[in-house]
Structure 1
Amino acid sequence: MQLPHHLPGSIELSVVIPVYNEEAGLDALIERVTAAAHAQFGERYEFILVNDGSKDGSWNAICQHADHDPRIVAINLSRNHGHQLALTAGLNHVRGEIIFVLDADLQDPPELLGPMLEQLRQGYDVVYGQRTKRHGETAFKRGTAALFYRGLASMVDTHIPRDTGDFRLMTRRVVDQLNAMPERYRFIRGLVSYIGFNQTAFPYERDARYAGETNYPLRKMLALAVDAVTSFSVVPLRFASHLGMLFGLAGLVSLVGILWSWLAGGTVQGWASLAALTLIMGSVQLLVLGVFGEYLGRMYMEGKSRPLFIISEVRRHPIAANEEPAETASHVAEGGMIDTKVGEGIRVAG
């Protein structure tokens, strides 16, 4: 693929990085990403750092860098929206024709931009990182991740590559399609696979976290897994039907056994077994209702059509702000009123 040509000084690469409590590693992150981007694009790149309601000094650190570097766009969300929506907010602001997505913890090496770019030039629209090793992670996390991807693959029609995250390089036309998808419960690596176009894997070894602790505890991992399954599969709903048929068959077999015992002159035993069966059937019914409720609840939330994210502030270097197109600059208004829609989010001028 021939990459688009731009006038000198225009933006070719947009680097999108969600940030949540990453103050300790921000300096190293920006230093390494800057070196990688500059080596490939000179000055024709931008960083979009999205602060997802951090509780530490991440936002202040981002602002300090933005005040000194016109290539940095600092976006502050009104609260913690979650990694996938923070990433969506960043993707809604890209100006480059090539988009590089990575996490702020430096587990995905920015230095791989060059080799991934070489693959993109071979005619691909998406080059996604595929982990061959995961350094610094527990056996439990590696095992559950492997189980999740293999279980997901058996339930969905869309091919979602195993052992991948959001670390990837994409062309603008893929990101434009991604931004046009309004769904709230986002599993972005799955959505990118759903979009299609030419995609290829880039095998790499994932590094250990540079600083701090993981921001993806078991609770968030389970929530992401539920989002992935319910967004791309109706297998749980079919499972509820199959479970009902299975227990119906078991009840029929039990009834045949009881009739046979009665015809043979035996005594039908057991209030205890009857009570146990009643409890099991009640549990199954509640499980089935829970599965239906999960899908119904998501339909209810989607039907509200609330914005996916709310932006409290967008901060740029004065030079970069003066170079913004008029329609973009008009978004930054005085006061605290909601003044514009940004993609599927709302910006609150600050």
Structure 2
Amino acid sequence: MDSCEKRVLLTLIVPVMNEEESISPFMAAINDKLEGLAAELEILFIDDGSTDSTIQQIEKAATNDERIRYLKLSRNFGKEAAMTAGLDHAQGDAIVPIDVDLQDPPELIHDFLRLWQEGYDTVYGVRATRLDDGRRKRASAGLFYRVFNRLSHTTIPPNAGDYRLMSRRVVDAIKQMPERNRFMKGMFAWPGYSSIGVEYDRPARYAGFTKWNYWKLWNFALDGLTSFSTWPLRIWSYIGGGIALLSLIYMLSIILRTMVFGIEWPGYASIMSAVLFFGAIQLISIGVLGEYIGRLYIETKGRPIYVLEKKN
């Protein structure tokens, strides 16, 4: 491989929002843990609409370290858009998205780089432990991976986050995907190519607090399922067919009872139960259709995924 014969450029993509306390510790950890790295390093911060002094801290760090570049988005577009901006502007032969809170151990990049040089296009981190996650969050994450991989043709490795090394050809393939509703875990896996996982223990955050509450995680999971699977739409064909079959059986039973025992007057409870049940089914199916139609509406407008305010 050519990357073994020359010194390659490795880009770290670091999306941040209101992380003023984390910039200095992150750079200290990078300098300490990546000393002797077998690659030139580019550190690309993407400020996703911070309202504190995050961008000032990045600019200060950049004046003392020529490896640092930064992009400032005009407002908060979300982490997926910030990572997209990073992929668009990364110059490296290999690219590593990494969190600034040090939950992604920088020292793992040595293993990432070695495996990439052995021929793997994607080397992803697999969380052996999630010390800062509660039991409910771990259980819901496990359920999401199982459901997603059953319903989608694109397989996401369980417990693999955004922390990974990707070759330039993987990144170039991702850059050809223009959708506005971006589920990066699925997009990272979609190009295929050879991949391998590396286990690591995920520590607690060094500073600050997580921006992901349960509501945001639910919407994130919903984006993932609707972006990479049509099963939520297709399943209603099966549900409709099943209900139609049950209705036909019930109708035949009423006809037979009427022929044998004469006319019966149905009760109020049975009518209301049927009306409420079928009404609920219709509302749920309309809601699923609405989710897809809403995403089609967003895509057809063709707005940019992000807007840059400044960069260096």
TM-score range, shorter chain: over 0.9
1:186 shift after superposition: 1.2
1:310 aligns with 2:286: no
**Match in the other structure for 2:290:** 293
CA deviations over 1:176-218 (Å, ceiling 9, x no partner) = 1111211111112211211011111111111111122211111
Contact 2:124 2:163 in 1 (8 A): yes
Aligned positions of 1:171-210 closer than 5 A: 171-210=167-206
CA distance in 2, matches of 1:237, 1:227: 14
CA deviations over 1:237-293 (Å, ceiling 9, x no partner) = 111111111221222222233223323326343122212211221121121111112
**Match in the other structure for 1:80:** 76
Q: Secondary structure at the match of 2:190?
A: helix
Aligned positions of 1:213-292 closer than 5 A: 213-265=209-261, 267-292=264-289
CA deviations over 1:299-348 (Å, ceiling 9, x no partner) = 12111111110010113xxxxxxxxxxxxxxxxxxxxxxxxxxxxxxxxx
**Match in the other structure for 1:122:** 118
Q: Secondary structure at the match of 1:309?
A: coil
CA distance in 2, matches of 1:255, 1:192: 51
Contact 1:124 1:200 in 2 (8 A): yes
Unaligned runs of 5+ in 1: 316-350
Q: Secondary structure at the match of 2:157?
A: coil
CA distance in 1, matches of 2:6, 2:305: 32
CA distance in 2, matches of 1:233, 1:193: 14
1:145 aligns with 2:141: yes
Q: Secondary structure at the match of 2:36?
A: helix
Query: Which AA in structure 2 matches 1:25?
Result: S
1:29 aligns with 2:26: yes
1:59 aligns with 2:52: no
**Match in the other structure for 2:130:** 134
Question: Which has the larger displacement, 77-86 or 26-35?
Answer: 26-35
CA distance in 1, matches of 2:180, 2:59: 28
Query: Which AA in structure 1 matches 2:309?
Result: S
1:55 shift after superposition: 2.7
**Match in the other structure for 1:113:** 109
Contact 2:94 2:168 in 1 (8 A): yes
CA distance in 2, matches of 1:87, 1:59: 16
Give TM-score, length-normalised by structure 2: 0.94
Q: Secondary structure at the match of 1:269?
A: coil
CA distance in 1, matches of 2:50, 2:251: 60
1:130 shift after superposition: 1.1
Contact 2:80 2:182 in 1 (8 A): yes
Contact 1:77 1:311 in 2 (8 A): yes
Q: Secondary structure at the match of 1:92?
A: helix
CA distance in 2, matches of 1:122, 1:5: 12
Contact 1:92 1:179 in 2 (8 A): yes
Give TM-score, length-normalised by structure 1: 0.84
Contact 1:107 1:206 in 2 (8 A): yes
Unaligned runs of 5+ in 2: none
User: How large is the RMSD of aligned CA atoms in angstroms?
Assistant: 1.7
Question: Which has the larger displacement, 144-153 or 297-306?
Answer: 297-306
CA distance in 1, matches of 2:178, 2:34: 30
- Aligned match for 2:152, one of 156, 179, 186: 156
Pairs aligned (count): 311
Q: Secondary structure at the match of 2:14?
A: strand
Percent identical pairs in the alignment equals: 38
Q: Secondary structure at the match of 2:3?
A: coil
